[in-house]
Amino acid sequence: MKKISVFLLALFLIQVNSSVLGQATIKYSKQTKLISDAIEDAENQLWASCQQRIDMYRSDPIPRWDDEFMLWRMRADFYYATAAARLKHSNAIELLQQFKIDYPNNTFSANVSHLLGMVYMDNNNKNNAIIHFNEVDPNELSETEQDEFYFLSGYAHFQRDNFIAARTSLEKTANYSNPYQVPSVYYMGVIELKDGNMAAAKEYFVMIANEPEFREDATLYLTQIDLMEGRCTQVMRHLEPMVSSAPRSKQAAIKGTLGQAYFCAEDCEKATPLLEEYIKSLRNPEYALYYQVGYCSYKSGQYEKAISYLKELTSANSDSMRQHAMYLIANSYLDMDNKEDAKAYFQNAAGTGPDERLKELATVQYIRLSDDLGDHSQSIALIEAFLELYPTSAYRDELLELLLNATLHSKDYAKGIQVIEDLNLNTPAFKEIYQRLTLYSAVESLNSNRYEEAIEYALKSQSSNMDNTLYQIAHLIMGDAKHLQGKYPEARNHYNQFSMSNVDNSEFPWAVNAYASYGVAYTYFKEKDYKNAASKLKVAYDQLNQAQFPRAQAFYQDAILRRADCLFMEHEYNTSQELYLDIYQNNYPKDDYALYQAGLIDGFNNNLSSKILRMDQLSVDFPQSRYRDDADFESADSYFALSDLDNAKRGFLGFVNDHGSSLYKPVVYNKLGLIYETQNQYNEAAKWYKKTITEFSGTPSANIAVKALERVYLTMGQPQAFLDFINSQSGITLNESKKDSLLFTNAMNFYNANDYRKAAEAFEDYLSEFSRGFHHLEVNLYAAECYFELGKSENNASYFSKALPFFQTVISEGSGAQLETALVRAGFITFNHQQNYSIAQQYYRRLSEIGGVQSNVELALEGYLRSSIELQDHDGIIDASEKIQQTNGMAKDIQDLALFSSAKAYYNKGNIQTAQSMFQQCIQRLDMSSKKAESAWHLAKITYDNGQFEESKEACKNIISTYGSYSYWVVKAYILIGDCWIGLKNYNEAILTLESIVNNYQGDQALIDEANQKLEQARLLERQADSEDAE
């Protein structure tokens, strides 16, 4: 059974397949008929029917996939997409693109690319159109499609201004009859005209002169060509006789043509009535006629009429004609002084149309009007765009000048400056604008407190010195900038340079000599050179009183006030007061201040009663014045100065009530305290001093009040009450300091009373309580002085020993006069009473270095020298001596001692040459003395040491004869003579000389011993010499 079933199924399938195949054959025949009919419709341009048949075909597809079927299907898809393109369906591009994808290798590739180019042209997408046109091989298209392709691709290139490619395509359809010949001829005419081929262009335009679609444009172009070629006269000569003789039906046309000829000859007077009559005869006049009448009306100054005719061209198909019409309308409005409408039409002419030259002119006019109408920001943007588009335009310099002036008007100075600097514009006109731009920038910077920038711009302005007025004003601006920088001499220099020029400029009304004089005066005022300031202010306000600029009177009034201030500072009170009163009486600004100053001058002149009247008047006239508290205080204080304590007290009490926050308040409290204290009302006085202390703690007034309160309480016998009050004040730690002060005051009272013993005890008490107290250095000094005075008065060296540690504390910690006093005293004690020359030397040397009182300097140098002598400190002697010689006013005996000691020091240090020179100075400068005798001996000794025995011997003889009263040095000279004889080997004379000393001199044993020693030496040398002779 199974096998039978399979067989039956196979048989069934065979039968079914045969049936289907038969049906497919029938359907295939029907469907191919639909496609064949659709192709026939396409060939007959019946695109809607074509699409309908293909839709019917697609609604009942053939179930076959052989090559023949696929070929029919491809044809159906191609013609369906073609119909969509021809019918301008929105899905045409999608269908064509899909066809290229579905059938990458097909016989319709050129057709599909052509159709895509056509559809993109319909969509105004010229770039994509050209891309697809470039894919087309025209040889694969039919003749009809070739014509369409050449025209459309040529037109696409024409729209892209690619005239070479456009010419190549359009030539193919322009020179024989085809559906695209007329537009091709038109565009070829335009191309030839653009290339300057007038004859060829005219030939093309003549070919289509009667074509309705292009008649207007062709007429315009032919008119332009005729005008350029100058063939208008022959037209007129031919037509003029015909006007009256021609049939009536022809006259309108003849008049129209003749009118255009007159137009061509620019005889607008004759052309206008003929053209107007011709226009009226026509149902739809050509736009060119409106243009010609409008043009003639414009040329004859009939601007309203010109505008009326030219506005007919706003809907003209020709971009060129419309562009020219808009330009003429704009000029008509401009000549009528209707700048707003003129600007709008120039903008229109600049934005549309093929005439680039006209675009340029219209743009220039549009820019000019924008600037004239004050739209400077727009002008700047337009000019920048124009110069980018037309960098070599003949209007470049004019527009640059407009741009720069626009930056002036719009205050965009930086842009203008940058343009000039970037483009290196250096003609006189640009230099003048640059001078103004930089000057305005300087003013702007000055007003914005950018002073260095203002100076930089002013200098740039002066670098383009085209206008001397602006050049001088730059000086004024730099003067103000330097003034505000505090560079007053430099400011004055600039003001003076301006003042030397008689500048009068309404653009800068304040730029006058009066203002410069005012600036000069103020620089002196700021330098506190009040004498010069007063002189210059007098010049300034005399000039300002005659000046007319807006703030002249304000400056004039201020100059009077400042001159009054200067004279006040120069103590020229009478003139100053006159000026202050002039300000007050004329109600000038700051008249309250002027009245206050006038009152102060009364006080300086000791006219306190008048001062009181003026101060009281200020309070009445100016109750809200900022000087009210000053005036009330000065009034009360003047009563105080007059010893009218009751009125002073009344005034100060009134001040407290009226001026609760015044800075004078603590001073007033203290004044009230002092008044009550003077009147012996101590409790009331203490109240006001306490108010100062509590309300103004830490201020100078509070410190004064503390001392006054102490004085009051001490007068009342209540010092503890004073300390208790001070201790009660928060933030004031006066308990220890007041105790410090009280202890110090107590000790000072003893000291001032010359009770040195009690004073010393009191000072030591202070130091035991406050070892590092506020007055500890003073206390150490005063304690030392007490013991020093006790040591002197009682001739008791122990007091000097007690004084020294106190002096030493001051020396280690003190400065100034305290240190100086301590060093003087400590030096005296250590040198004279303790013979501690090393310490004394230190004190005197330090004292000599601090440069104090002259007498102490002299004392220090003498002490330093004598200490060094005692210490045999040769370097110290030399140092002290040099300082003594360099110090004016030193006593002669100290100078002589210094010279002599220094000579010996150099001698002892082995510096014989310097010592010899200084000993010679001693001989010349010293009075007769043992030092002079010793100096002479040292010189003789140096001569001896140099082996000059005869010279030394003679020098010794001179010492003996000159310094006979100085026995010591006479004996020393004899001894040296003995040495000289020994040096000369004349031992007998040496023995005789030395024996005379030993036998006759009864003085200094050391000299006798020295003579004996040298005598023995001489005898020994003599014996040796005799022995040598005997041998």
Residue range 690-701, pLDDT digits in tens: 999 898 888 889
The residue with tokens 């003849």 is 254
Q: Which residue has the higher pLDDT, 387 or 475?
A: 475
Better-predicted residue by pLDDT, 60 or 906: 906
Instruction: Judge whether residue 735 has pLDDT over 60.
Output: no
Q: Is the pLDDT of residue 310 over 90?
A: no
Q: How confident is the model at residue 215 (pLDDT cuts 50, 70, 90)?
A: confident
Q: Tell me the per-residue pLDDT of 670-722, one tens digit each, with 9 for 90 and over.
A: 999 999 999 999 999 999 999 998 988 888 898 899 889 988 876 675 656 77
Structure confidence at residue 681 (pLDDT): 95
In this predicted structure, which of 116-120, 595-599, 666-670, 715-719 has the lowest mean pLDDT?
Answer: 715-719
The more confident residue out of 517 and 501 is 517
Is residue 143 over pLDDT 60?
yes
Q: What CA–CA distances, in Å, run from 618 to 414, 593, 599, 600, 634? A: 52, 9, 9, 12, 11
The pLDDT assigned to 224 comes to: 60
- Kindly tell me if the per-residue pLDDT of 528 is higher than 60: yes
Q: What is the pLDDT of residues 935-979, one digit of tens each?
A: 999 999 999 999 999 999 999 999 999 998 999 999 999 999 999
Question: Which of 719, 720, 783 minimizes the C-alpha distance to 750?
Answer: 783
SS3 of the chain: helix, strand, coil, percent, to 5: 80, 0, 20
pLDDT at 5: 33
Per-residue pLDDT for 16 more than 50?
Answer: no
Calpha distance 955→933 (Å, rounded): 11
Rounded Cα distance, 254 and 249, in Å: 10
For 639-660, write each residue's pLDDT tens digit.
Answer: 999 999 999 999 999 999 998 8
Q: What is the pLDDT of residue 249?
A: 67
CATH (one of 1.10.260, 3.10.20, 1.25.40, 1.10.10) for 413-503: 1.25.40
pLDDT of residue 33: 84
* Confidence class for position 63, pLDDT limits 50, 70, 90: low
pLDDT at 38 over 90: no
Eight-state DSSP code of residue 315 = G
In angstroms, what is the C-alpha Rg of the chain?
A: 63
pLDDT tier for residue 504 given thresholds of 50, 70 and 90 = low
How far is residue 93's CA from residue 242's CA, in Å, rounded to a whole number?
58
**CA dist., res. 846 & res. 815, Å (int):** 12
| Residue 479 burial (C-beta neighbours within 10 Å; 0-12, 13-18, 19+) | buried
> Mean pLDDT for the chain?
86
Q: Which of 156-160, 234-238, 593-597, 844-848 has the lowest mean pLDDT?
A: 234-238
Closest by alpha carbon to 825, among 866, 868, 863? Answer: 863
Task: Write out pLDDT tens, residues 123-134.
Answer: 999 899 999 999
Helix (H, G, I), strand (E, B) or coil at 567: helix
Quickly state the pLDDT bin for 228 (edges 50, 70, 90). low
pLDDT > 90 in the chain, percent: 42
Q: Per residue in 247-305, pLDDT tens?
A: 776 677 777 778 878 887 778 888 888 888 888 888 888 888 888 888 898 888 888 98
Least confident segment among 226-230, 492-496, 683-687, 737-741: 226-230
pLDDT of residue 748: 82
Query: DSSP H helical segments within 814-873, as ranges?
Result: 816-828, 837-849, 854-871
Are 918 and 932 a contacting pair, CB within 8 Å?
A: no
Count Cα atoms within 13 angstroms, Cβ side, for 41: 21
- Crossing angle of the two packed helices 719-727 and 700-716, in degrees rounded to 10: 150
As given in the structure block, the two tokens for residue 146 are 């070739």
Query: In angstroms, rounded to a whole number, what is the distance separating the alpha carbons of residues 219 and 289?
Result: 9
Separation of alpha carbons 620 and 854, rounded Å: 59
What ranges do the domains of the chain cover? Answer: 413-503, 952-1031
Which pLDDT value is given to residue 171? 92
Annotate 472-528 with DSSP letters as a single string: HHHHHHHHHHHHHHT-HHHHHHHHHHHHTS----TTSTT-SHHHHHHHHHHHHHHTT
Reported as a single tens digit per residue, the pLDDT across 975-1018 is 999 999 999 999 999 999 999 999 999 999 999 999 999 999 99
Cβ atoms within 10 A of the Cβ of 923, count? 14
Tokens of 241: 């006789």
- Which residues neighbour 102 within 8 Å (Cβ) at sequence distance 6 or greater? 74, 77
- Could you report the per-residue pLDDT of 341-376, keeping only the tens digit for each? 988 888 888 877 788 888 888 888 888 888 888 887
Lowest mean pLDDT among 138-147, 746-755, 832-841, 880-889: 746-755
Sign of CA dihedral 906, 910, 913, 917: positive
Give the model confidence (pLDDT) of 759-799 as tens digits.
898 788 778 877 777 888 888 999 989 999 999 999 998 99
Q: What pLDDT shows up at residue 874? A: 94
Distances (CA, A) of 491 to 205, 551, 783, 889: 77, 21, 60, 50
Q: Measuring CA to CA, which residue among 829, 823, 825, 822 is closest to residue 844?
A: 823
**Per-residue exposure over 159-185, b if at least 16 CB sit within 10 Å of its own CB, e if not:** eeeebebbbebbebbbeeebebbbbbb
- The size of the chain, in residues, is 1031
In this structure, are residues 108 and 145 in contact, taking their beta carbons and an 8 Å threshold?
Answer: no
**Helix, strand or coil, per DSSP, at residue 73:** helix
**Beta-strand (E) ranges in 162-253?**
none
Q: What pLDDT was estimated at residue 349?
A: 82
Better-predicted residue by pLDDT, 501 or 640 = 640
pLDDT of residue 555: 87
Separation between Cα atoms, residue 479 and residue 494, nearest integer Å: 5
State residue 219's pLDDT score: 64
Query: What per-residue confidence (pLDDT) applies to 21?
Result: 35
Residues 818-843 as b or e (16 or more Cβ within 10 Å = b): bbbbbbbbbbbbbbebeeebebbbbb
Residue 464 structure tokens: 């383009």
For residue 645, the model assigns a pLDDT of 93
